[in-house]
Structure 1
Amino acid sequence: MKVDGKIGIGQAIMMIMLTAGITNHVTVIPLLLSKAGRDSWVSVLLTAIPFILWAILLAFISRRLKQQPLAVWISRNSNKFVSYLILTPIILLLYLMALVSLIDTQTWTTVNYLPRTPEWMTALALIVFCMIAAHRGIVPLGITAGMLLPAVAILGFFVAFGNVPKKDYSLLLPLFQHGYTPMLHGMLYVAGGFVELFVLLLLQHHVRAPLRLSHFLILVFIIIVLTLSPLTGAIAEFGPIESSRQRFPAFEQWRLLTVGKDIENMEFFAIYQWLSGSFVRISLCLILICELLQLRSYSKRWILLFLLGGSLLAITSLPYSDMQFVSFLSKLYYPLFLAVILALTLILGGIALRQSTRQEDTGHES
């Protein structure tokens, strides 16, 4: 293994799979089912078309970065105002990504297998591990993701194929019984989850080799499958009405799984899957926030991580209901996340295009 402070392309892809997979697999699906119902799987397929075009734009920006940190590249190609205009919302979005994942994990843990454990204790245990991982840096986290993901993927195939006898895919039809509005509404949440691929731009300077368009398209395909598989599985197993009432449809599929007549109650495997994704996601968000703030000092990084971890823990301890949290996700978080990421992508694309044009003009003059 090379010791150069960087990770391989495979490790970067696995980190994004765990980071984006946990939200598209878990957080997006309940919102999508509640709004689009049976038509939700069509929302995923239709959103995939503009998502591919957006990923091509990301690949173009990544190529223009030439493996420079995004903050450094922006400062070299624009003024301070534009730099703050871009970096500030990115930092806020990374913080919200970590917060949403922490709250969802805390709620799921309390509801499903630790009902008598104080919620703050669950959040504290997770955030402490994430802070330690964030301080260690991107390389150990990349290695950890490479160790965690294979088992996560195998368990995903296990539950998907193990429940095939209980699935009735005829429940996916008929479509558009309530018109096209639910499907279009569902596309908003799908897109809000898909655009988390933007994190790869913040990660690309840590990758040993330059990222190519093929890497972005591979991740696009993986994220689509990670969303579509548990979504169609939930509808085929529980029906569109019952699945839309469930808070965690992907987890409920584990409850149905049996091996023969004598082995059941294997939902504990889902704990490994969920905590693996949440751990990598929150840790990566903390690492990237520290980087964007350009904190390299050992003591300053620890201070910032304590502030971030403490504030995340404090917010998760506020007196709000899960219904209010779901309402926040559907009415504010995902629409805002989508709008901000698309705006930032267009701004970065404009800067990259201007840089490319300027270099061509310089080449002609010389």
Structure 2
Amino acid sequence: MHFSRTQLIFVLILFIGISNHVLIMPHLLSSGKRDAWLCVLVSYAFLLFWGVILYLIMKKNHQRLCLYDWLKVRAGAAISHFIIGVLAAYVFAISAISFYDLIQSINIYFLPRTPSFVVMLPFLLISAWSAYSGLKSIVYVSAVLLPIVWILGIFVALFTIKDKDYSYLFPVLADGYHPVLKGTVIILGGSADLLVLLLLQHHLKKSFTLFNLFVLISILVFLILGPTMGSLSSFGPAVASGMRFPAFEQWRLITLGEYISHVDFLAVFQLLSGEIIRVSLGLYLLADMVKGDSSASRKKHVFAVSSLLLGLLPLIPLSDIWVQTLIGKYFYPAALISAVLISLVLLIIGYLPMKKGIQRI
């Protein structure tokens, strides 16, 4: 089944937006500190350039083949298997990180004495069911959830204005360029999620234009810039850089009149909306990347194993400090390097001639 560009943009905003809005925030603020918002602007220029590269890669897929088949007819089965394997490992990694982060946030703020599996099981079942139902269910759920999530985002931005002091954003570069460099790496590493575009291209009725990509990238960058400036102006760089979930903390500042103060439960709706789309689309993509003989059976096996591994993850006793250090210092830089290399390789492959015997469509 094929979908419009707008429908898939809705999915991608929720899929990547939850990472930009929540997952990378503590790492960005701890690395960039007062200049974290400046890191976003620097990253925007690089992301627009990367959008051009992604557009050129997608444009070369005239036949609208899935990425595996497109690579196979141009570079052979071995290279195709290798690149798809790297992308599959990445998709599973970001799904696992998102799943872990969700369980941690709920345990910290709402259900500290509830066993992790009680929180994990309903969420995993919903995500797995959505992924197993196919991309159609993920697209339709995104179309319903995104407008509500967006309205709630505007709500928190407006009702926390009185608590913000934008003088905290200045002076810039007081600690030199190193914080900006570190923060930019975090943002670009987190933005490696844009490679998912290449895995979804064959589901589009019409391919993305350069303008579509620029709009998508601009929206995603704003989803980083908004909570970054909000956190810095609300709490100051010293306090904000030490927060585990700075975007969520902004919800706790809201008061409606004299008697209503705890509306942070609305943040849970935002969090669950983004995480369900992120995890379910991750599971769907892992199964969708399986090709070859008996692919239907193999897809079910991949789907079952991936879901089981995600379910076991919260049950492993891990130090949250250790996990966050691993993600910030190693995962995001590795994701950035991998995304750059894969993009360059795919761009080169796009200009290779198709193998003999392949009929053009």
**Could you say which TM-score interval applies, normalised by the shorter chain?**
over 0.9
Q: Name which of 71, 83, 102 aligns with 2:80.
A: 83
Specify the alignment match of 1:11 in structure 2. Answer: 7
Q: By how many angstroms is 1:299 displaced?
A: 4.9
Matching of residue 335 in structure 1 with residue 338 in structure 2:
no
Query: Which deviations, in whole Å up to 9, do the C-alpha atoms of 1:181-214 show, x marking residues without a partner?
Result: 1111111101111221111111111122221111
Cα-to-partner distance string for 1:258-296 (whole Å, 9 max, x where unaligned):
123232210000111001101001111111111111277
Q: Does 1:349 align with 2:347?
A: yes
1:71 counterpart (60, 65, 68):
68
User: 1:310 aligned to 308, 326, 330, which one?
Assistant: 308
CA distance in 2, matches of 1:42, 1:86: 33
Moved more, 113-122 or 269-278: 113-122
Say whether 1:172 aligns with 2:169.
yes
Percent identity, please. 32
Q: 1:85-124 CA deviation, whole Å, 9 max, x = no partner?
A: 2111000000001000000000001001111211122222
Aligned position for 1:225: 222
Moved more, 257-266 or 230-239: 257-266
Paired residues of 2:248 and 2:264 also in contact (CA < 8 A): yes
Report the TM-score, using the length of structure 1 for normalisation: 0.93
Deviation >6 Å, runs of 4+: none
Equivalent positions of 1:148-187 (< 5 A) are 148-187=145-184
TM-score after normalising by structure 2: 0.95
- The residue that corresponds to 1:362 in the other structure is none
Between Structure 1 and Structure 2, which shows a larger proportion of helix residues? 1
Structure 1 residues 237-252: aligned runs within 5 Å: 237-252=234-249
Aligned-partner residue type, residue 16 of structure 1: L
1:127 aligned residue: 124
Identify the range of structure 1 (264-273 vs 116-125) with the bigger mean alpha-carbon deviation: 116-125
Aligned to 2:317: 319
Per-residue deviation, residues 277-334 of structure 1 (Å, max 9, x unmatched): 0100111111111111127765543332221111122233212111011011112211
Distance 1:62 1:260 in 2: 51
Any conservation in 1 of the 2:286–2:302 contact (CA below 8 Å)?
no
Structure 1 residue 38 displacement after superposition:
0.3
Residue number among 21, 24, 36 corresponding to 1:25 in the alignment: 21
- Which of these residues, 24, 35, 41, is aligned with residue 39 of structure 1? 35
Partner Cα separation in structure 2 for residue 93 and residue 61 of structure 1: 19
Any idea what the Cα deviations from partners look like across 1:20-62, whole Å, max 9, x if unmatched?
Answer: 1111111111001111100111111011111111111101111
1:339 positional shift: 1.0
Further displaced range: 100-109 or 326-335: 326-335
Larger CA deviation: 68-77 vs 192-201: 192-201
Give the secondary structure class of the aligned counterpart of 2:263: coil
Contact kept in structure 2, 1:135 and 1:301, CA below 8 Å: no
Task: Letter of the 2:307 partner, please give it.
Answer: G
Q: Give 2:275's aligned residue.
A: 278
Secondary structure of 2:252's counterpart equals helix
Q: Which amino acid aligns with 1:344?
A: I
Moved more, 12-21 or 203-212: 203-212
RMSD over equivalenced CA pairs, Å: 1.7
Tell me, in whole angstroms, the C-alpha distance in 2 between the residues paired with 1:351 and 1:32.
34
On the 8 A contact 2:287/2:300 being kept in 1, the answer is no
* Inter-partner Cα distance in structure 1 for 2:351 and 2:297: 39
Distance 1:100 1:292 in 2: 20
- 5+ residue gaps in structure 2? 356-361
Mapped pair 1:49 → 2:45: yes
